[in-house]
Structure 1
């Protein structure tokens, strides 16, 4: 028994640096969360412009920005909203860390967003007030468009937030820009 304890005790210091290096490396990179992971985290309904709306967990995605910060998005059921709100409010976006969307800084919080006419993406506060509009792009080469997804950009440094084949670029500001 003592021999087994000594072997384990002596091997722990050798394993600890390796485990710490792996944890540091995985925390330094952002990872994409798929619908099952994101849907399990998100609430079943969200508040926007004075009403609650159900989310579509099957149409959700996210990014683990760091060990302690997430960006989550899900399509919402906007049937209870006016047609003017439905045109702009398609998804609910929550971020726990600042991000850049189409070059615009977005502080931590909860937002409504959507892809609108003229290749634009709008982000609104939960009161329905426009915060900014960014240009969006169309990806005709996307092999499997889905209603909502987040994929890595070809540059490997940023992400693309898609609704069908339309997307907007998401990046994580450098620590000095936060």
Structure 2
């Protein structure tokens, strides 16, 4: 008589798989989110982002090592990279720190943002500004500070329940589809 999985063995196997997935999910939770959305590390984002970008009548070099993003389950992206703004006027430099590409409409801190290419920046008084490519302010939202972050990076994207965080150092904003 062939001895296969009994009902009890199948239940134990299923529980073991769920525990393993929970451990792996806990370990790699920052890499992916439910539904197949995946956070992109700088190494992944650099393959998609250009070496230089256009903003307010000039071309500026991107800091690809300081980039990140999200690949949504349906194949669309949100990408961001810090930009060398040394050639811009001081009023633009104060606001424009990163290039931001959204292939789909998203919400930043609950504020609607259409698909497009933008300049963004974390500014004083815990604010985050979104600018069109002509450097016109589109909207400003409140940003947050993550005092518990152990190793802040110049730019980083992480997953959180219901969306994602875009960090500059310890400052961050949330965004979601």
Task: Supply the distance in 2 between the matched residues of 1:75 and 1:163 (Cα, whole angstroms).
Answer: 9
Gap regions ≥5 residues in structure 1: 1-25, 173-178
When the two structures are superposed, what TM-score results if normalisation uses the length of structure 2? 0.79
Query: For residues 39-79 of structure 1, what are the alpha-carbon distances to aligned partners after superposition, in whole Å with 9 as ceiling and x for unaligned?
Result: 11101100000000000000000001233310000000000
Gap regions ≥5 residues in structure 2: 1-32
> Tell me, what secondary structure is at the counterpart of 2:94?
helix
**Which residue is equivalent to 2:145?**
138
Relative to 1, partners in 2 of residues 1:119 and 1:127: Cα closer, same or farther, differing over 3 Å? same
Does structure 1 residue 78 correspond to structure 2 residue 85? yes
Relative to 1, partners in 2 of residues 1:103 and 1:27: Cα closer, same or farther, differing over 3 Å? closer
Task: Supply the distance in 2 between the matched residues of 1:135 and 1:129 (Cα, whole angstroms).
Answer: 18
Pick one of 163, 167, 174 that aligns with 2:172. 167
Pick one of 137, 142, 155 that aligns with 1:148. 155
Does structure 1 residue 106 correspond to structure 2 residue 113? yes
Query: For residues 137-178 of structure 1, what are the alpha-carbon distances to aligned partners after superposition, in whole Å with 9 as ceiling and x for unaligned?
Result: 01000121100001122xx22111000000001111xxxxxx
> Tell me, what secondary structure is at the counterpart of 2:153?
coil
1:23-62 matched pairs, under 5 angstroms: 28-62=35-69
Task: Supply the distance in 1 between the matched residues of 2:139 and 2:40 (Cα, whole angstroms).
Answer: 25
Tell me if structure 2 keeps the 8 A contact 1:101–1:171. Answer: yes
Stretches (4+) displaced over 6 A: none
RMSD: 1.3
**Which residue is equivalent to 1:69?**
76
Pick one of 99, 104, 108 that aligns with 1:92. 99
Task: Supply the distance in 1 between the matched residues of 2:128 and 2:90 (Cα, whole angstroms).
Answer: 17
> Tell me, what secondary structure is at the counterpart of 2:162?
coil
Tell me if structure 2 keeps the 8 A contact 1:32–1:64. Answer: yes
> Tell me, what secondary structure is at the counterpart of 1:128?
coil
